[in-house]
Amino acid sequence: MENTLAKVKSFVIESGKRILTVMQYGAKTAKEAYPFGFDSAPLADYTAIYLETSNKDESVIVGYVNKAQIAKLGESRMYALRSSGESIGELLGFVYCREDGTTAINGSEFSAVRFQNLKTAIDNSDTLINTELAKIATAITTLGGSYIVSNISTDLTSSESETVKLK
């Protein structure tokens, strides 16, 4: 058995398995071995770690040499790169679990919002505003004018993400 590095050239998916074509002393194919639940496709010319098994026809790729590592001790990062055009390899999206307990999704400029807490605060605010509008209407009527109260109601239901959850 021989364990070497090989350059990724292309891949196909057959029966739910990614079969890579790599250059390792000539063109060869191998299946990928990943941690459970993870699915990723490398760009061409990334260096793959190619292992031959005891079965000659069962070579596997067990990983890749990362070209842009930034994760610190204890951190994890998952990312996607542009696969075509002038900017091949450009970072397009990421999830970055940092050592300080924060998780960045495509950046860290803004904080995420807990929908239920925001909805409660907005509902309370709407109630306070409506109470004040009723007081204003009463005062205007007392002074001989008229003011018809139109209650405020903020609908946030279309803002809730059912599939992204926060602590």
Q: Tens digit of pLDDT for each residue in 100-109?
A: 999 999 998 9
Does any domain span residue 166? no
Total domains, the chain: 3
Q: Do 10 and 55 fall into the same domain?
A: yes
Q: State the maximum Cα–Cα separation within the chain, in Å, rounded to a whole number.
A: 97
- Non-local (6+) Cβ contacts of 106 within 8 A are 93, 94
pLDDT confidence of residue 65: 81
Question: Which 8-state DSSP code applies to residue 44?
Answer: T
Domain end (from 30, 45, 64) = 64
Q: Do 147 and 107 fall into the same domain?
A: no
- CB atoms < 10 A from the CB of 30, how many? 24
Q: For residue 44, give both structure tokens.
A: 């061409």
pTM more than 0.75: no
pLDDT confidence of residue 121: 96
Q: Is the pLDDT of residue 2 over 70?
A: no
Q: Do 105 and 134 fall into the same domain?
A: no
pLDDT confidence of residue 139: 96
Q: Mean pLDDT throughout 4-13?
A: 79
Segments forming the whole domain that contains residue 125: 115-159
Query: Which of 49, 84, 92 is CA-nearest to residue 68?
Result: 92
Beta strands in 15-142 (DSSP E): 17-23, 27-32, 47-51, 60-64, 76-81, 91-97, 103-105
Q: Are 46 and 64 in contact (CB under 8 A)?
A: yes
